A and B are shown apart, each in its own frame.
Chain A
Amino acid sequence: REIMLLRNLGLPSRPKPVSPPHVPSILWKLFNQRMGPSTAKKNANLCFVEDFNVPGSTVRAISDQGRFVNPHSTNPTTTVCLEKRLFFNISIMEKEERVTMGRLEVRFGQNTYYGRLFDLRLYRITQLSLKGMGNQKMSRKLLTAQTFRLLHKSLYFNLTETCQSWQDPRKNLGLTLEISPRKEGSLLAGQLDECQGIQTFLYTSLLAVTLDSAQCTMSRAKR
């Protein structure tokens, strides 16, 4: 009987979280906006997420299931400080759901005003290599590249289009994140502390907003 009830709520079975992550503050904020004591419940539009200005009825903070890669294992001369595969299992979404927003957060443990500059590159994996072939047969497409200083603890990237295409599970091969030090004039290549600051890397997380068309019928605009 319980399973039947859970299915009606869109859950295949009773969730059994193994290592439940912390609840992101943005989700607490959205929850309190909708369900808090001061909420005007009757007027709340639960099919629109005002904080992101997108239509949506479900917001998910999806855990990254990717692994770290030792960049020196495939290329001993590389200057890359951090290389990580990112994989977000979005097959958990129901068929009726349409992604209206995808935002990747790259989180660091601390920020430093005088921190050094880094280059960040985010690739989308378009073809995987066979086991044991390393990165040689893996093809990837550059999604974004930017230079940053650790002024803030988090960096955000718009992945809406990528998430929309990932709804076809065959197209979801994940991402690769690479961070390398930017060569500044006063610094010499090969310095030991080149990667200092990046060790504070904590985690990546994907915030996805979806709209269930069956649940949220959009009203026609008034003439």
Chain B
Amino acid sequence: SHGRLKFLPSNMCKRRRLYVEFGDVGWQKWVIAPRGYFANYCQGECPYPLTDVLNGSNHAILQTLAHSFEPNDVPLPCCIPIKMSPISVLFYDNGDNVVLKHYENMSVDECGC
């Protein structure tokens, strides 16, 4: 449900699904809810030329251009989260209190170059 659907080759920069289960990282004894959440991540190439679907920033466009002139000195732009959303976590703290806290930038919604 997050972001637009983009039909990109598999090696291109895009959001990849990653479900983090708190039990898998050993936090299940103090995290009450959720059991896990879609954290997701960004991975892929940002090749020349940057098309719209790759969500290239102005900086990335110029870096791509510079890379085409100096491929050994200037790397291609990298693939990073450009839109993230918060999640709320219900947990026990060290004083046996129940805490409901919201954390910013926990889930990757969109990626870009």
Which residues in A have some Cβ–Cβ distance to B below 8 Å?
9-21, 23-24, 27-28, 30-31, 34-35, 41-42, 46-47, 57-63, 89, 92, 215
- Within the complex, which residue of B93, B98, B103 is in contact with A27, where a contact is CB–CB below 8 Å? B98
A34–B102 touching, CB < 8 Å = yes
A58 contacts which of B27, B34, B94, B102 (Cβ < 8 Å)? B102
Having A16-B30, A17-B29, A59-B100, one finds 8 other A-B pairs with CB under 8 Å, namely A14-B27, A15-B93, A19-B96, A20-B92, A20-B96, A34-B88, A34-B102, A41-B85
- Can you pick out 16 interface pairs between chain A and chain B where the beta carbons lie within 8 Å of each other? A9-B103, A13-B94, A14-B30, A15-B94, A16-B30, A16-B94, A17-B29, A23-B98, A35-B88, A46-B102, A47-B102, A59-B100, A60-B100, A61-B98, A63-B96, A92-B94
Closest to B37 in A: A35
Contact partners of B102 in chain A: CB under 8 A: 34, 46-47, 57-58, 215
Task: Give chain B's interface residues, CB within 8 Å of chain A.
Answer: 27, 29-30, 32-34, 85-88, 90-104
Expressed in whole angstroms, the Cα–Cα distance for A104 and B83 within the complex equals 39
A59 to B91, CA, bound (A): 11
Please indicate which of the listed interface residues B27, B93, B100, B101 has the most CB atoms of chain A within 10 Å of its own CB.
Answer: B100
State the majority secondary structure of interface residues on A.
loop
B106 to chain A: closest CB distance in Å? Answer: 9
Cα distance A34–B104 in the bound complex, in angstroms = 13
Query: Shortest distance in angstroms between B91's beta carbon and chain A's nearest beta carbon?
Result: 7
Task: Report whether B33 and A31 are in contact in the complex, using a CB–CB cutoff of 8 Å.
Answer: yes
**Are B98 and A60 in contact, CB atoms less than 8 angstroms apart?**
yes
Q: Which of B33, B86, B92, B99 has the most CB of A within 10 A?
A: B99
Query: Please, how many angstroms separate the alpha-carbon atoms of A139 and B26 in the complex?
Result: 47
| A-B complex: 5 closest residue pairs judged by Cβ atoms | A17-B92, A46-B102, A15-B30, A34-B88, A61-B98
A30 surroundings in chain B (CB, below 8 A): 88, 100
User: Which of A16, A35, A58, A61 sits near B33, CB closer than 8 Å?
Assistant: A35
Q: Are B100 and A58 in contact (CB-based, < 8 A)?
A: yes
Measured CA separation A10–B97 after assembly (Å): 15
